[in-house]
Amino acid sequence: MTLRLTLAVASTLFFVTAQAGEVTVAVAANFTAPMQKIAQAFEQDTGHKAQLAFGATGKFYAQIKNGAPFAVLLAADDETPARLEKEGLAIAGTRFTYATGRLALWSKQPNLADDKGEVLRSKSFEKLGINKIAIADPKLAPYGAAAMEVIHKMGVQANVLPRLVQGESIGQAYQFVSTENAQLGFVALSQISVDGRITQGSAWVVPQNLHTPLKQDAVLLNAGKDNAAAHALLKYLQGDTAKAIITRYGYAL
């Protein structure tokens, strides 16, 4: 490598480093796996670093209202970003749907969750060893609210409600089932599948007509107004690299 080329490369690297920034992102728990991949690619491609916090959308809303310094919110619904925008806590015109999620009924056990969800109608829960069914808190997590819609539309409240255990977020609901503290649970499809394949156990992918569509919106928050990395991340989420990762985890765009 010639001296001139070496200096040119060094100069370019210095410029990228100098221009790189950092953005703090509140991410809905269902989007954990794809967002970790996106953040890695984002840093490699732009030099910007995304600091990620995962949790329930409702809890993030409360934290943002109380001054939490998140620059970007990736919600599990479209209502929370719209509410923040209306309340003057997010930048108007920056909101968009980055993914539409899918809900699944999942068991760590290979044959427990059938592909039509009929296990929820079973009169033999005890014989099947089903003592607990996990969901995310419907008051905090849109996936939990969607799960409650499914339970009511199927008419299985009497069967299911006495066995429900609630996690604060869909991440905690997943943990209940993953550790087999619950034998069944409503989780995000993205938590249990890659490239359309269930990675372990058994699952029923819930038909979307059984619940309100899980449109997930991103928005730039006030703390990110002048943050170049925040603007870059929102743009990156709409690009081909991020879209490819998002679809791998079972989301629709």
Beta strands in the chain (DSSP E): 22-28, 49-55, 72-74, 96-101, 103-107, 133-136, 164-167, 184-188, 193-194, 197-198, 202-205, 214-220
Of 201, 212, 211, 213, residue with least CA distance to 115:
201
Instruction: Clarify whether residues 18 and 86 are in a common domain.
Output: yes
Mean of per-residue pLDDT scores for the chain: 93
pLDDT of 162 reads: 96
Of 221, 250, 233, residue with least CA distance to 99:
250
What's the rounded Cα separation, in Å, for the pair 130 and 99?
32
Domain contains 253: no
Other C-beta atoms within 10 Å of 133: how many?
A: 28
**Which residue has 């791998």 as its token pair?**
248
Tens of pLDDT, residue by residue over 174-212, are 999 999 999 999 999 999 999 989 999 999 999 999 999
Domain contains 221: yes
Strands 184-188 and 103-107: antiparallel
Tens of pLDDT, residue by residue over 101-115, are 999 999 999 999 999
pLDDT at 15 exceeding the cut of 90: no
Strands 49-55 and 22-28: parallel
Domain contains 8: yes
Strands 72-74 and 96-101: unpaired
pLDDT at 20 exceeding the cut of 90: no
What's the rounded Cα separation, in Å, for the pair 191 and 31?
8
pLDDT at 127 exceeding the cut of 60: yes
**Bridge partners of residue 6, in order along the sequence:** none
Its domain, for residue 78, covers 3-100+213-248
Token pair for 205: 């992918």
Domain contains 166: yes
Instruction: Clarify whether residues 140 and 196 are in a common domain.
Output: yes
**pLDDT over 70, % of the chain:** 92
Instruction: Clarify whether residues 95 and 113 are in a common domain.
Output: no
Q: Are residues 101 and 251 in contact, defined by beta-carbon separation less than 8 angstroms?
A: yes
Which CA distances in Å does 159 have to 82, 124, 144, 174? 36, 10, 17, 21
Instruction: Clarify whether residues 134 and 68 are in a common domain.
Output: no
Of 196, 204, 206, 207, residue with least CA distance to 112:
204
Domain contains 187: yes
Q: How many domains does the chain have?
A: 2
pTM for the whole thing?
Answer: 0.87
Instruction: Clarify whether residues 25 and 50 are in a common domain.
Output: yes
Helix (H) or strand (E) holding 154: helix 142-154
pLDDT of 253 reads: 87
pLDDT at 62 exceeding the cut of 90: yes
Instruction: Clarify whether residues 18 and 42 are in a common domain.
Output: yes
Instruction: Clarify whether residues 178 and 116 are in a common domain.
Output: yes
Token pair for 135: 């969901």
Tens of pLDDT, residue by residue over 40-50, are 999 999 999 99
Ramachandran bin of 150, using left for φ above 0, alpha for ψ from -120 to 50, beta for the remaining angles: alpha
Domain contains 54: yes
Mean pLDDT over 141-148 rounds to 97
**Which residue has 């829960």 as its token pair?**
125
What's the CATH code of the domain at 152? 3.40.190.10
Instruction: Clarify whether residues 185 and 236 are in a common domain.
Output: no
pLDDT of 14 reads: 43
Instruction: Clarify whether residues 129 and 191 are in a common domain.
Output: yes
Instruction: Clarify whether residues 73 and 158 are in a common domain.
Output: no
What's the rounded Cα separation, in Å, for the pair 203 and 109?
9
Instruction: Clarify whether residues 91 and 124 are in a common domain.
Output: no
Instruction: Clarify whether residues 107 and 96 are in a common domain.
Output: no
What's the rounded Cα separation, in Å, for the pair 225 and 228?
8
